[in-house]
A and B are shown apart, each in its own frame.
Chain A
């Protein structure tokens, strides 16, 4: 069964949902020149199986029972070791070039098999090595020249809102623990709970404790505070694991603004989250799961941390992981973590849950042809 060289390679996606299939189909048509087509398992030559779907391991076993030697590409977020001559492993999110390399390797496996069977005289034979290793090759080392510091914030302000923590190695558990904070141990968590209650009962809430009196006015979407920022800040920056939630539903008139400072709720929570996190992340945030941005924050009325616009623009295009974002933009992790913590506190950002979001690695950012000009204009707008 010899094939014309241009016959597309027939692939099947095993156990993947419709979104993931569509993503692959789109990739094959737009970036692979239709060299590959996605078909049902029965008519395919090479299969791709997502180990992370529910029951993924079992799917894999059953697949091997059906097709003991069909070329297979396994994908998963967790690094894998596969000892099997017909199986390759690619870690998700899949870099497009690695997926193509894996498909091509499996295609060559098929054609050597076919040639051996039909005894066609050999071209250059491709010995297939035993694949008990990942096809993933480390990315060529990125240049580690730090980007110019964004001039949006003074150094002292930056320390308060973003902290000064160095980058961590996410694979080192000891370093990993340093990167988290528990919002519930700060005033941030209490205000978040107050907001939930206020929304649920559609009532104003007084948040009472050792700190200056705080009142949440749900109808006006405002927070009233009976003190200066500097009197409030200690409660926002020092953790207290014993914090109780002293919330009291109050009547509208009690929220009257006499002698109180007024903040929009979102801007207040945003700032509290920056104060508490100082470049860290809410406890348990996955560093490798892509992050979605529900919508652009209303930046003109929020504390803007360095690189916040770049991060927002990147996530507005497509979800990316926290680590991937810092790498793509070539910036220290704390800026990404700070922005995420603030955006997460007002529910503008979160971890993606759909399988399709982790399937294929987001593309590198294409520099626009006007990048130089844009940079100069940016500088000017910032008063440089």
Chain B
């Protein structure tokens, strides 16, 4: 049996648990709890430990999908979590107070992991707030030297989440057949 993993990360309430659920073969294991006072205004359940989902390919390969909890901003656990990871799916909520600083924060937090793998960014909740636009996110990253795929996604849509992962796979290997 071969095991591989992808990491989903991003701020609180941007759709990490939902995105994992959208593509997982098994019912996602989450440890959502009644929201603390801080996040209560935003939604009813927030993930306090970690999300887990899985995609089975035949009976010999498994892709594990891990989601970091949104509440703490950064934890030393995350670096451990990324060991052996294939790539990072970063979700940013367009309706959050400062989505650019969210993006910069997470890119910096996962800098080492991104350095040895690849990252894609999904901007969620653009149906709720249409500004900033996707171009504005690209402009924020103009000086960073690498061209990161940034797509508008709705974490509830399987097709959107799948396309993010497809872009991640092609970033890792543009010669991939398919």
Contacts and interface: CB of A to CB of B under 8 A. Distances in A.
A379 B135 CA distance: 30
A310 B175 contact: yes
A378 B178 contact: yes
B55 A295 contact: no
A313 B170 contact: yes
Contact of B174 (A299, A314, A373, A377): A314
A102 to B, nearest CB: 28
Interface in A340-384: 365-368, 370-371, 373-382
Nearest to B160: A300
B133 interface: yes
B87 to A, nearest CB: 10
A98 to B, nearest CB: 22
B178 A295 contact: no
B167 interface: yes
- Contact residues of B: prevailing secondary structure: mixed
Given A150-B178, A295-B147, A377-B55, A367 B152 contact: no
B148 interface: yes
Interface string B148-178: 1111110000011011111101111111111
A66 interface: no
Given A296-B150, A300-B153, A380-B57, A367 B175 contact: yes
Contact of B149 (A296, A368, A370): A296
A14 B162 CA distance: 50
B55 A313 contact: no
A316 B163 CA distance: 17
Contacts of B166: 309, 378, 381-382
A365 B23 contact: no
B49 interface: no
Contact of B150 (A293, A298, A313, A379): A298
Contact of B148 (A296, A301, A310): A296
Interface residues of B, number: 39
A329 interface: yes
B63 A298 contact: no
Interface in A51-67: none
B121 to A, nearest CB: 10
A310 B147 contact: no
B123 to A, nearest CB: 9
A219 B121 CA distance: 25
A147 interface: yes
B88 interface: no
Contacts of B174: 310, 313-314, 317, 329, 365
A295 B143 CA distance: 12
A374 B173 contact: yes
Contact of A373 (B57, B134, B135, B163): B57
A290 to B, nearest CB: 15
Contacts of A301: 151-152
A204 B58 CA distance: 54
Contacts of A261: none
Interface centre among A148, A298, A329 (most CB of B within 10 A): A298
Given A221-B133, A373-B61, 14 more contacts: A147-B177, A148-B177, A296-B150, A299-B149, A300-B159, A301-B152, A309-B166, A312-B167, A316-B146, A317-B147, A371-B175, A371-B176, A376-B57, A377-B165
Interface of B: 2, 4, 23, 55, 57-58, 61, 63, 86, 133-135, 138, 146-153, 159-160, 162-167, 169-178
14 contacts: A299-B151, A300-B153, A301-B152, A309-B167, A312-B149, A329-B174, A365-B175, A371-B176, A371-B177, A373-B4, A373-B57, A374-B173, A381-B162, A382-B178
Sort A-B residue pairs by CB-CB distance and give the 8 closest, nearest first: A365-B175, A313-B174, A313-B170, A368-B173, A316-B147, A381-B162, A296-B149, A314-B174
Interface of A: 147-148, 150, 221, 293, 295-296, 298-301, 304, 309-310, 312-314, 316-317, 328-329, 365-368, 370-371, 373-382
